[in-house]
Structure 1
Amino acid sequence: MGLFGNLFKGPQVDMAKSDANRKKMRVLFNQVVENGGDYKILFGYTEDVSRFNYGIVHGSKTKIGNLIVGWNEASQTIVVIPTVPDLSGCGDATFYRQSDILKAYQNKFPTDEFIIYPDRKGYIGIGVCEWLEDEKLYVYVSQDEEVKAFTDFFLKQFQKK
């Protein structure tokens, strides 16, 4: 297919950059979570959509939050750590133990997110993807296998109906 075959493939993943970011995610995760090496990790994101209505002008704004998401099958725990797209730092870890949550499910519409209600007062929606090209908004990492492993874990061990 030569030159024209490459034109129709669309953007390609820079695996060197992806692997470097995967290593940065692991370092940050291990700094914040005790025994962090016992967890599998992937990049996730959360969206906060605020709607506004100013008479004639209607719309919404979306704020994106980047997350390092870890999960441990043995302890049935998901850990969520806020971070930034360049992985220059991170916040504190929040732990979601399967036995302590009120409800959890995979939302299919309007977005494909994993929703966790730790109690009646709040929830978190975790979006995961195989790869996003926009480095200004998201962590640049290719993670096909991790997305499948997390989805399988969540649906098998974590989802409560």
Structure 2
Amino acid sequence: MGLFNKFFKGPEIDQAKSDANRSKMRACFDQAVENGTEYKLAAGYTEDVSRFNYGLVHGSKSKIGSLIVGWNEQNETIVVVPTTPDLDECSNPVYYRRSEIYKAYRNKYPTDAFIIYPDKKGYIAINIFEWLEDESNYIYIDQEAEAKAFTDFFMNHFKTK
């Protein structure tokens, strides 16, 4: 039984790579966000799905965007910093303050995402993961505790319905 488990337990997480990315994530976030050290962090992604229909050919294409997601329980604020999977570039932060959003909820289907509507016209879907092997599309980081902490924060402070 032990030999069987050794062969079929799946890929191992490279903790050194994960820890290095955790440090890069913190540095990038702190540089982009004023008082960034006051926020807890998790890696996430958002997905833009475009559908097409060419007569007999139907389908969809997905574009994945990597995110650094910070949250501050005291201020009830989520800050999203778009980045690249290798964390070499960071864009401008977007702030979502609980007092300023139209609505927010957790959507379990088709993916487990946290949906925030800052107003009636636009929204962001934030997906937080424990670990994903595909480092070409996602930040390589082991973050089971952070994923749980963000979920708890969102459900206790942001959820509106």
Verify: 1:28 aligned to 2:28, yes or no. Answer: yes
Q: State how far apart, in whole Å, the 1-side matches of 2:118 and 2:137 are.
A: 27
Q: Which amino acid aligns with 1:73?
A: E
Q: Which amino acid aligns with 2:16?
A: A
User: Aligned residue for 1:114?
Assistant: 114
Q: Which amino acid aligns with 2:137?
A: L
CA RMSD of aligned residues (A): 0.9
Structure 1 length normalisation: TM-score?
Answer: 0.98
Q: How many residues were matched structurally?
A: 161
User: Aligned residue for 2:154?
Assistant: 154
User: Aligned residue for 2:82?
Assistant: 82
Q: State how far apart, in whole Å, the 1-side matches of 2:6 and 2:84 are.
A: 32
Structure 2 length normalisation: TM-score?
Answer: 0.98
Q: State how far apart, in whole Å, the 1-side matches of 2:29 and 2:41 are.
A: 8
Q: State how far apart, in whole Å, the 1-side matches of 2:2 and 2:156 are.
A: 44
User: Aligned residue for 2:124?
Assistant: 124
Q: Which amino acid aligns with 2:65?
A: G
Verify: 1:61 aligned to 2:100, yes or no. Answer: no
Q: Which amino acid aligns with 2:13?
A: V
Displacement of 1:6 in angstroms is 1.7
| 1:27-60 deviation line (CA, Å, top 9, x unaligned) | 0000011111100000000000000000111000
User: Aligned residue for 2:10?
Assistant: 10
Displacement of 1:90 in angstroms is 0.6
After superposing on structure 2, the runs of 4+ consecutive aligned residues of structure 1 that deviate more than 2 Å are 1-5
Q: Give the 3-state SS of the residue equivalent to 2:138 in structure 1.
A: coil
User: Aligned residue for 1:141?
Assistant: 141
For structure 2, list consecutive stretches of 5 or more residues without a partner in the other structure: none
Q: Which amino acid aligns with 1:146?
A: E
Q: Give the 3-state SS of the residue equivalent to 1:50 in structure 2.
A: strand
